[in-house]
Amino acid sequence: MKKYLFLIFLWASCFRLFAQDYNASLFGCKSDGITNNTGSIQYAIDYIAKKGGGTLHFYVGRYLTGSFSLKSNVSIELHEGAVLLGSSNVFDYSSLNGKRALITAIGQSNIQIKGKGVIDGQQQLLQTHLTALRQKGYITLSDQPEDISLIYLQDSKQIQVKGIMELNLPGAAQFVDRCEDVTFQGLDINCPGGIGVYVRNSNKVILSNIFFRAIERALVESEGNQGLTKENSRLANGKSI
Amino acid sequence: MKILPIFLIIIQALTFRLAVAQDYKAMDFGINGDGQALNTRSIQAAIDYITNKGGGTLRFTPGNYVTGSFYLKSNVTLHLEQGANLLGSNNPFDYHKDTVVNWQSMIYAIRQHNIGIVGKGTINGRGFQTAMNALQNVHKGIVQDELKLDRLREWNRPENIYFRECKHVVIKDITLRDPGSWNQTYDQCEDLHVEGIYVDSKSYWNNDGIDVVDCKNVVIRNCFFDAADDAICFKSHDANAVCENVLVENCTARSSASALKFGTVSRGGFRNFVVKNLVVYDTYRSAITFAAVDGGFVENILVDGVRSINTGNVIFLRIGDRWSKGKKPFMKNITIRNVYAEVPANKPDLGYSYEGPVEDMPRNISPASIIGLPDHKIENVTLENIEMVYPGGGNALYAYRGTDAKSLDGIPEMANAYPEFSQFKELPAWGLYIRHAKQINLKNVSFRIKNTDYRPTIVADDLEGGVWDFKSYLNGQVLKDSFHLHQSKEIKTN
């Protein structure tokens, strides 16, 4: 038994060794709320993944971005005052497996999105852009904003989303599909007309200490879920979910 | 024979005037307004020449004059004509970090007198790009900076203007834009006259509007400030110096921090201020913040006439204890009168460049507050003819602070925290919260909300003395039992 513990310790310390911290500015990310940082953020994630994993830190500021993909062992920390600002241009959102989202993880593991910061989907501006495009006939009905989530997780495991405030996206703030061991904890979700968490075909999903404000539906449990835990999570009117 | 001495006097007077008022054209010194040439050294040569000749004006005709750091000298005035732009170089190495003030700036003046920057032209620091370039220099490893919050410390980014220990300073009519750090600092200056300037300063972090540090005899009049950080900011860096005898008149301020602020650095003190006719709008934090958190004092202050629209907080008076080093702070004799203020439910500075940072929630809308420390009470504050309009709607399920003894005593003192109206998170009142104070008077003060709030209008904790004449309304209906007293005494209410 002791031997195993030692091995676990060794494994853990190795992992620590690789888990480095990187500032967003190292990759040229700008906090001005105007510069589109998608390229920098995606490069940073890919780079950190190649280096064996670590955390990409965003400090106070507004970081505009389009869609980017998470990679195994790369975490994102949004420190207090840091806002990950979803682009208001619908073309900045890529469609992966038919799903549009600001942040996607497909087939990845061991990722945390954490901190006291904010993810803001800028719903109104996005909606304005979409409406204009649709009126001119440039995009079809299938490009509805309802398709866009803040976070889309598919075929992934050991994912944690902790402490963040999530604002303004009319789709599912987080969409979880065929995942295992996913934790949403200490979130403040404010997505008018949207869904807080959409879960399907997933195991061991934990929702803990979540406050749902101005939201259409807090939780949608679709088919095939096992072990969905809800604790101390409620709506603005006090109802538990 | 009598005429000769008079003639001599006239000649003398004329030559004196000529010497002082002589006008020099910038282009005559090879200063080039093509937007490309780096003019640092030719501007410096011109200033040195003029000061050595007894003074005069260096006149910039329309053009784009790129420059790094230079020093303004005694009896020299820079005149920027309308259309003349003094542009900060984007190369961080074109700036100097002065050893007296230990801070970067484009225009310095250290221990000079009779200096000025006037005219309808612009000083544009172009600080965002310079700050970005400096940041990459740190990542390259060729510049050292701790990169706190993933940006260079404010003293390692250039301001537009930094004057220290100067006398008779005139800043008039100019436009100031986009520094890399604070915008303009006047530090231990005397007879500072700032009039009719337009400040658009929201290109990067710490872009204050104006910083007046430990100055004497100051007039700031008819100015407009739109700033990412504090707009009109008085500081006291030196524990043995005081910011005093100040008039701020007919100014407009927009800020993603506070509009009118004393502090944050408040080591010496602030006294004898008159602030008249201040308009504040779209401001993220407080319209008025007076902070004595580093051992300094605040005394004899009159604020008369404030219109504060779409601003996150109306008044925040605070004694703290960050870097006091044994000095005893105090705050007393403050009158704030003739104020109309509207506090919004949403973020007031949405959409401005470098918006104020969203804090770690939860917190319902915060009240105006007067918060001292148990051993250092705020004394003798009068709020007169004031109307504050709040959105209400405080939700106890989102954030809660009750008025029972345990809840009130549970509010942390946070003596050594950065002073901010939101620092205590949820406060137990929606209109006004008072703690550790003596003699707080309310004369004709009204508080209004549009939606029910679970909190009372006013909570006072450890308040000794006060005459309160106030009314509280929910949608025009008078709210009864609208205040709560805790460990307080000698308060007379209407």
Q: Is A16 part of any domain? A: no
Name all domains of chain B by residue range, CATH numbers in brackets.
23-493 (2.160.20.10)
Q: Summarize pLDDT for A141-167 with one digit per residue, the tens.
A: 665 655 789 999 999 999 999 999 888
pLDDT band at B11 (very low <50, low <70, confident <90, very high): very low
Task: Give the closest residue to B189 by CA, choosing from B159, B160, B219, B209.
Answer: B219
Region of A163 please: left (phi>0), alpha (psi -120 to 50) or beta.
Answer: left
Contact B149 A60 (CB under 8 A): yes
Q: Total structural domains in chain A?
A: 1
CA torsion through residues A129, A134, A138, A144, sign: positive
pLDDT value at residue A191? 83
DSSP-derived 3-state class of residue B162: strand
CATH of the domain at A81: 2.160.20.10
Q: Is A117 part of any domain? A: yes
Q: Is B204 on the interface with A (CB under 8 A)?
A: yes
Q: How far apart are the C-alpha atoms of B41 and B155, rounded to whole Å?
A: 23
Task: Give the closest residue to A71 by CA, choosing from A81, A61, A56.
Answer: A56
0.90 surpassed by complex ipTM: no
Q: In A, residues 146-205, which contact B (CB 8 Å cutoff)? A: 165, 188
Q: Is B250 on the interface with A (CB under 8 A)?
A: no
Look-up of token digits 């919260």 = B433
Please check the confidence at residue B8 and state whether its pLDDT lies above 80. Answer: no
The alpha carbon of residue A79 is apart from the nearest alpha carbon of chain B, in Å, by: 9
Q: Which tokens hold the place of B248?
A: 């701020």
Please check the confidence at residue B335 and state whether its pLDDT lies above 60. Answer: yes
Cα B487 to Cα A150, B232, B408, B411, B459, distances in angstroms:
48, 36, 10, 14, 11
Residues of the domain holding A85: 21-235
Q: Summarize pLDDT for B181-216 with one digit per residue, the tens.
A: 999 999 999 999 999 999 999 999 999 999 999 999
Q: Is A4 part of any domain? A: no
Contact B357 A60 (CB under 8 A): yes
Q: Is A9 part of any domain? A: no
Are B225 and B202 in contact by the 8 Å Cβ rule? The answer is: no
Contact A23 B147 (CB under 8 A): yes
Q: How far apart are the C-alpha atoms of B312 and B287, rounded to whole Å?
A: 8
Nearest CA in chain B to A211: B398
Look-up of token digits 């990845």 = A108
Are B343 and B398 in contact by the 8 Å Cβ rule? The answer is: no
Q: Is B205 on the interface with A (CB under 8 A)?
A: yes
Torsions phi, psi of A41, nearest 5?
-65, -45
Least confident of A124-133, B11-20, B161-170: B11-20
- Chains A, B: CB contacts within 8 A come to 60
Q: Is A6 part of any domain? A: no
Contact A80 B353 (CB under 8 A): no
Q: Is A11 part of any domain? A: no
pLDDT band at B473 (very low <50, low <70, confident <90, very high): very high
Nearest-by-Cβ selection for A236 from B151, B205, B397: B397
Burial of A90 (0-12, 13-18, 19+ CB in 10 A): buried
Nearest-by-Cβ selection for A80 from B360, B362, B395: B360
Torsions phi, psi of B281, nearest 5?
-150, 160
Contact A211 B398 (CB under 8 A): yes
Residues in chain A: 241
Residues in chain B: 494
Q: Which tokens hold the place of B79?
A: 């005149």
Nearest CA in chain A to B138: A26
Contact A213 B398 (CB under 8 A): yes
Nearest-by-Cβ selection for A30 from B132, B355, B398: B132
Q: Is A240 part of any domain? A: no
pLDDT band at A223 (very low <50, low <70, confident <90, very high): confident
Nearest CA in chain A to B351: A33
Burial of A84 (0-12, 13-18, 19+ CB in 10 A): buried
pLDDT value at residue A18? 56
Contact B358 A83 (CB under 8 A): yes
Q: What is the pTM of this model?
A: 0.90
Q: Summarize pLDDT for B33-48 with one digit per residue, the tens.
A: 999 999 999 999 999 9
Q: Is A3 part of any domain? A: no
